[in-house]
Structure 1
Amino acid sequence: MTQALLLNLYRRATRLVFNLVLVTLLLGLFVGVGRSFLELGLTFTEPTVRLGLKDLVTNTLSLIIVLELVRVFVDYFEFERVRLEVLLEIGVALALRELLLLLFAEELSGLDLFLRTLGILALVAGRTLAVQFSPRRSP
């Protein structure tokens, strides 16, 4: 009896925490989208187009990452598990964001660019394998 009560309490606490995190992420997403639209004018006022585009790309990629995180939380509520393919998509988005930021800052050597690109390709291959061998598919 106490085990069922504790398990029920755990489920309720988990749902409450996940709901709070989901609401926070959604609020952050809406604020980020609003700020991106407000800062769109900076693209035209920056001394060079490149600086304005750098900020725009950075904000857009950050919003994509937050959107993917929201998707993870929604998937958790829907399936009561986190799918590997979604986590790998977040990894790809994070790696692409960092790669583009370093490219804009011109802080990458040829070898660094090659190794980071290989890492992104490995994440994409892992995601492809996760989709191909998903537990819900029959062999």
Structure 2
Amino acid sequence: MTDGDPQELIPGVLLSGARGKILRFYEKMLDLIVIVLIFIMLITLLAAVIGLMWDVYDTALAFRQEQAIQGLVADVLSVFVLIELFRTFTDYLEFHRIRLRVLSEVAIVFVLRELFIGLYAHRMGSLDLLSTAALLAVLIGARIAAVYFAPGHSSAE
């Protein structure tokens, strides 16, 4: 969509007049909102990395404290979640859709973050572990299906 041609908005449908103008305006405003969100996410990611470096320094000073180490583990895993969310926004800006593969990867990273934090803090019971495993299995199945049934993917590959 480099030149704003109305034919590029919806493939196979010619949009003209007021309807085409409204849809082009809507698309431009949506792109602007996503760009602002990307900058906010970038600032948040930079702040999280700076906070993580500060936590590494604090943990190095108080290495024997279990609470400091648990906080560091949670912060590191939170940065990974933010990176995946950042990738989701940039993919949306590029493709004008949220791909199920990327969204499932974000969810998998988030569930793994919670699993690692819970296991490290010794506060997950067997039922929690089983339900988290089931959730992970569903998310991984959704990711595999998203890759397998992606547009342009043939089963002969």
- Please give the TM-score of this superposition, normalised by the length of structure 2: 0.81
CA distance in structure 1 between the aligned counterparts of 2:64 and 2:23, rounded to whole angstroms = 58
Q: Which has the higher helix share?
A: 1
**AA matched with 1:106:** H
RMSD of the alignment, in Å? Answer: 1.6
- Distance apart, 1:55 and its partner CA: 1.2
Q: How far is the alpha carbon of 1:49 from its aligned partner? A: 4.8
Choose from 85, 88, 102 the match for 2:101. Answer: 85
Q: Give the one of 70, 75, 82 matched to 1:66.
A: 82
Bigger Rg, structure 1 or 2: 2
**What stretches of structure 1 of length at least 5 have no aligned partner?**
none
Gaps of 5+ in 2: 1-16
More RCO (CA 8 Å, sep 6+): 1
Matches within 5 A, 1:55-134: 55-134=71-150
Match in the other structure for 2:22: 6
Q: Does the aligned pair in 1 maintain the 2:63–2:69 contact within 8 Å?
A: no
Counterpart CA distance in 2 for 1:113 and 1:29 is: 29
Query: Which whole-Å CA distance do the structure 2 matches of 1:47 and 1:90 have between them?
Result: 31
Identical pairs, percent? 29
Letter of the aligned partner of 1:82 in structure 2? I
Report if the CA contact (8 A) 1:43-1:56 is conserved. yes
Q: How many residues align?
A: 139
- TM-score, normalised to structure 1, is 0.90
Alpha-carbon distance, 1:122 to partner:
2.0
Cα 1:39–1:47 shift into 2, 3 Å = closer
1:1-42, Cα deviation, whole Å (9 max, x unpaired): 111111111011101100000000011101111110121022
